[in-house]
Structure formats: structure tokens, C-alpha cells
Copies of this chain bind each other. A is one copy, B any other.
Amino acid sequence: YKSLNRAQLSYDYLHTNSTTHEFLFGALAELLDNARDASATKINIFTIDDESLRGGFMLCFLDDGQGMSNEDAGDIITFGKSTKRTQESQIGMYGNGLKSGSMRIGNDFILFTKKGPTMTCVFLSRTFHEEEEIDEVVVPMPSFDVTTRRPLLRSPRDKEKHQLEMKLITKYSPFKNEDDFQAMFNRIEGPSGTLVIVYNMKLLDNGIAELDIRSNPHDIILSNPEGLMPERKSFRAYTSVLYVDPRMRVYIQGSKKVQTKRLANNLYKPRVYKYSSSRFKHRSEMDLKKTQEDAKSAENKAREAESKARLVNLEMKLAASTNKDQRAELRKIQQQAAEYRKDAMLKKMAAERKLKLVREPKTLNFVFGMNIDNRQQDGMFVYNCSRLIKMYQKTGPQADGGVFCSGVVGFVDVPYLVLEPTHNKQDFADAKEYRHLLQAMGEHMLQYWKDINIADQGVSKFWENFGYISSNWKEMPSMDQKFVRKRAMQVPVAIQCDLCLKWRILPFSSNNLGKVFPDDWVCTMNPDPSHNRCSAPEEKLNMPEGVLKKAAKSKEDKE
């Protein structure tokens, strides 16, 4: 279809696309997701002061992940292209996070990445487009050899292209000469990794930068964040709960690691409820069908290519051809067939995996518990494929106000097969299905509320017991030693080992009250002798399982 029209991208779309992130930290999180998906063990989010740039600094994301080859980097500039889609552990799926996220934070970005023998830079600059009034989206992408630092050129024309790219980068990026530019690659110390630098930060309407990096040297906070929950104003607090299973160490401003938080460990009387719905099954069956069709069509394609290769091979043998061109052509056909075969195998395996999944019962785990440390911070935390999407969502009795179920925190991790996020990852693509989930959580929360029997013993009495003396719901609990101790005894300290990433639950000790644990806390520091080595298995969360008692299931569930 070479002769037909193709959809194009105009420069303005960079802005359109970025408006999707109304929550600024959500834009930053896209860059963390990318590092996580690249199997990084570490990411550092830091700033470099530069008064010549809008906002006065650039924001950098440096990870030690697998990096990108220059071909991989080419995928960045194809909107919607994501090779992660097929792997279930990957968060990225829309092929848009880097673009939408970075363009929400600032006007320009420059990315440096290292993988194997190549280093590549991707330069997406709105300043460049604006200054030169370019309506298309033009992206310089110079590549270099890791050892020689020489540009990777495949043809004499590439040399010209490379020079033009470097001219634009040194003109419009903060790196005004080749040395400053190359120095950025040096920041990636290991054999692979990626450094994304966003600059010319977006400003608030009152002219100051949206991100406040000065007030707290160990955090990035929203400018003017009055009255928000901690995870909505402090990037450190947000990243501490961003993933259900934090596998990557996050550093903010270089020095201080983000102490990850596992919600279930921070709650009083946590309980888990299994929830299953026929709706999930339908969706996974549809998904299976699609995967099976894909596998079948890939198989056909592979077979066709293989018989073509055999045919050409046979013809050449019969003709006893030694023509070079013909042999090169044959090799090409054979390579193509081998590639198609590989693709068909992968797709077949994917279909088999899916078939197994469909047969498994589709259940979600709803976990509920009481937030006795700060009762006003209640609501549902909804994760999608381990990544936080919604927080502090009120449902069931919480949505109506009153003390009924107030103080309860719930969470759930929903796989992609059940719900798919919107492309800003701050909501779910299907409002109705999401509402269905929240409603189910509300019903289970009510059951939890009955199961832990708080209403019977008296709600105010329950809270008074933990130091909530005031009748004002929003007042913080008493910091009287007696109450601090009482709360701490009910909610043990859980901490993630910096080496093996296992969670360890510390035995109660008065010494731990208000204690700040070191960033590099490791298993050997654990006073619990049965869990003081990284080889010791993680303690199972000792959560009782509750059961929803309901005379009749809701109409929707019955369908």
C-alpha cells in the first residue's frame, strides 16, 4: 500500500499527548516504569542546576538497566510501538510513556543510552522545533562506538547526517560542545543503562517551576501542595508505594534511598479476601482467542516462507546456479523464513501460556486493614500489574462519609487481563469495569468491617485506644509515648533488604520507636535470628483470610 496516505504526527501533537498527565508525579513515574521494565536495579533521580534553563535546573533519571541499542532507540520515536506488550511482568504497553511523561515535565528532553558496543542519544526538543518553525517531529539520534567514541556511520551520507545532528544538539541542548555532550555518556558507569534529562521545566501560572527541588534536598515536592495526601505532594512518598513488589532501588538526589513501603505491613489487623468474577473469564478468553489467531497466522507465514525458500533452493540446485546475486537472494529468503519461524514459535508459546492462564481460576486478592497511624488517610489503593494507578479511592460506606469503615485502607493488584490502564496510568481505560471493581471492594470492605468487630466494641473507643482523643476526624493521633508504643506494637516494622530485596519483619522493640533505618539495611542487621540471612525465605504475611457472606450476589455478578 505504498501509494496510500499514511497517518502523520505534527509537532503540536507533542503537547496534545502530554496533557494526558494531569498528575505531575504520574509523568515522572513513566520514567521510573521504563527503568523498571529495563530490569534496572537502581535509578537515581537528580537535578543539575543551570540558570540558563527555564526553571533553573534540569531533571535527570539515571538507571543501570539494559539500555537500548540504536535500533531499540528508533522505536522510541515510533509512537505506540512497544515491544514490552507481550511480557506480563512489564508495565509499559502503550509505547508512549517517555514521550508523554517527559513532555509533560519540560519542554525538551535528551536521552543517553548504552548497550553492548553502542551508545545512542535521542534528542526530542520543542525549543528546536519552535525556534526553527518545524511542523513535523524531527529527532536527531546520533550513535557512537562505546570504545572509540567515534560516530557509528554506515554510509558516507551518514557522516553528513551525524554532523547535522550534533550541530543541532550542541545548539539547542544544555551541552554546548562535544566534550560536555560525551561527558553525559560517562555518567552511565556500568556496561549498560540510560540517562534521561528533561529541561526547560514547565512553570506554574505564577511563574515558578512546578517541581520544588529546593525546600527539601532529599525530595522533590510539588510547589504549592497544600492539603494533599503525602503521596500526592512528595515524590519520595509516592515512589515508596509505587510498586507492589519494588525490585529497583530508587534514589532521589543521589544520596538517600527511597524506603519502600508494603501496604499490608503498615496496617492493623490486615485480612485478605478472594474475589472472583465471571467477567474476568470472558476477557481472558477473548485475549486467548486473539493470541491463538496471531499464533496461527504466524505459523502460516513461517510455512509459506519456508516452502518458498525450499523451492528457490531446489531450482538453483537443478540449474546448478553459481550466480552470486541469486545466492544472496536465496540467503535472504532463508533468513526471512528463519525469522518467521522464530516469531511463530514465540507466538505459539505465548498462546500456550495464555491457555494455561485461562484455565486457572481468576481471582483477585483484596487486602484490608486499619490505618491506625493516620486514620484520615484511608481508601482503596488500586494497582495494575504491580504499578499504582489509583490511591485513596473512597468506596462503599467510605464514599458516604461518617465513621462507618473510615480508617480502612484496602488494596488490590489487578492484572492487565482484568483491567487496562488509560495511557496516563492514573486511571482505568474502562470506567464501568473499574467502577464494578470498586463496588466489589466496597462490599468486601463492609465484610471486613464486620469481621474485625470494631462497631460492636464502639468506634470511638477503638480510636481512643490508639490515641485519637479529639472528635475531629482529621486530627493526628496523640504522640504520647503510651499511644506511640501501642500503635507500634500492633503494626510491626517491615523493611526491605537492600541486597536480596526480601521483606523482613522486625520483632517489636521499644528502641525502634521513631527510628530511621539506614538506606543500606540488609538481612544481617535483623535481630530475628531466623531471618538474618538473605538466603532465608521471606516470611509469609500472616493474614487471616475472610469470606464475603452475602445472601444473594449482585445482579452484575450473576450475569
For the complex, what is the distance from the CA of A17 to the CA of B422, rounded to whole Å? 9
For the complex, what is the distance from the CA of A54 to the CA of B15, rounded to whole Å? 34
A9 near B10: Cβ-Cβ < 8 Å: no
Per-position contact with B for A270-301: 1 when CB-CB < 8 Å, else 0?
A: 00000000111011000000000000010000
A515-535 with Cβ < 8 A to chain B:
none
For the complex, what is the distance from the CA of A436 to the CA of B228, rounded to whole Å? 12
Partner of A22, one of B12, B13, B78, B422: B422
> Does A207 touch B at the CB level, under 8 Å?
yes
B205 near A4: Cβ-Cβ < 8 Å: no
For the complex, what is the distance from the CA of A17 to the CA of B13, rounded to whole Å? 11
How close is A23's CB to chain B, nearest CB, in angstroms? Answer: 5
Partner of A5, one of B77, B81, B401: B77
Q: Report the nearest B residue to A4, measured CB to CB.
A: B138
Partner of A282, one of B5, B207, B225, B283: B207
**Interface-lining segment among A129-137, A236-244, A248-256, A495-503:** A129-137
B206 near A279: Cβ-Cβ < 8 Å: yes
Q: Report the nearest B residue to A473, measured CB to CB.
A: B400
> Does A470 touch B at the CB level, under 8 Å?
no
**A5 contacts across to B, CB distance below 8 A:** 74, 77, 138-141
Q: Report the nearest B residue to A165, measured CB to CB.
A: B4
Per-position contact with B for A418-462: 1 when CB-CB < 8 Å, else 0?
A: 001111100111111110100000000000000000000000000
Partner of A4, one of B82, B161, B204, B424: B161
**A85 contacts across to B, CB distance below 8 A:** 12
10 more contacts with CB within 8 A, not counting A10-B79, A13-B94, A19-B94, are A7-B78, A8-B81, A12-B95, A15-B80, A16-B94, A16-B423, A205-B279, A205-B283, A205-B433, A207-B282
A contact residues vs B (CB 8 Å cutoff): 1, 3-17, 19-20, 22-24, 74, 77-82, 85, 94-96, 124, 133-134, 136-141, 157, 160-161, 164-165, 204-207, 210, 222-226, 278-280, 282-283, 297, 400-402, 420-424, 427-434, 436, 555-556, 559
